[in-house]
Chains A and B, each alone.
Chain A
Amino acid sequence: MPFGNEGKTTTKRAAGATRHAFPSKDDGNENNSFHPTHPAHQKPQKGGSSYKMILTAIYALLFYLAAAVLLLGVGYKIYQYARIPAPLKIPTTPAPTTRRGVALRMLREVTLFESLFRANKWIWLFGWIFHVALLLVVLRHLRYFLDPVWSWVVLIQPIGQYAGFALMLGLTGLLIRRIAVERIRYISSPSDYLMLVLLLSIGGSGLLMRFVLPTDIVQFKAFMLGVLSFNWQPMPSDPLLLLHLTLVIGLMLIFPYSKLLHAPGVFFSPSRNQVDNPRERRHVTRWAAKLEDAA
Chain B
Amino acid sequence: MATRTLWLVGLGLLGLLAGMAVLFNSSNADEASTGNSPYFSPAGLPNAKAMVSATQACVEPLEVIRRQHGQLMQHQRDDTVHQGIRGSQHSLKGCINCHVTPNAQGQTLSIHDDPQHFCSVCHQFAAVKIDCFQCHASTPE
Binding site for B on A (CB under 8 A): 1, 3-13, 15-29, 31-32, 34-35, 37-39, 42, 45-49, 51-52, 55, 143, 147-149, 153-154, 157-158, 189-191, 194, 213-219, 221-222, 233-234, 237-239, 242-243, 246-247, 250, 254
Contacts and interface: CB of A to CB of B under 8 A. Distances in A.
B40 A24 contact: no
B127 A157 contact: yes
Contacts of A190: 4, 7-8, 11
B25 to A, nearest CB: 5
15 contacts: A13-B104, A23-B34, A23-B35, A23-B55, A26-B53, A29-B60, A32-B88, A35-B68, A47-B36, A149-B124, A213-B67, A215-B67, A218-B41, A219-B39, A239-B21
Given A28-B56, A242-B21, A38 B39 contact: no
Contacts of B61: 24, 27, 39
Contact of B62 (A5, A7, A22): A22
Interface residues of B, number: 71
B64 A37 contact: yes
Contact of B22 (A5, A26, A234, A239): A239
A13 B103 contact: yes
B137 interface: no
Nearest to A198: B14
Contacts of A234: 37, 40
Contacts, number: 207
A219 B28 CA distance: 18
B80 interface: no
B88 A31 contact: yes
A247 to B, nearest CB: 7
B47 A11 contact: yes
A19 B25 contact: no
A35 to B, nearest CB: 7
B94 interface: no
B134 interface: no
Given A10-B101, A153-B127, A23 B33 contact: yes
A1 B44 CA distance: 21
Contacts of A26: 53, 55-56
Given A13-B104, A246-B21, A20 B41 contact: yes
A198 to B, nearest CB: 8
B45 to A, nearest CB: 5
Contacts of B101: 10-11, 13
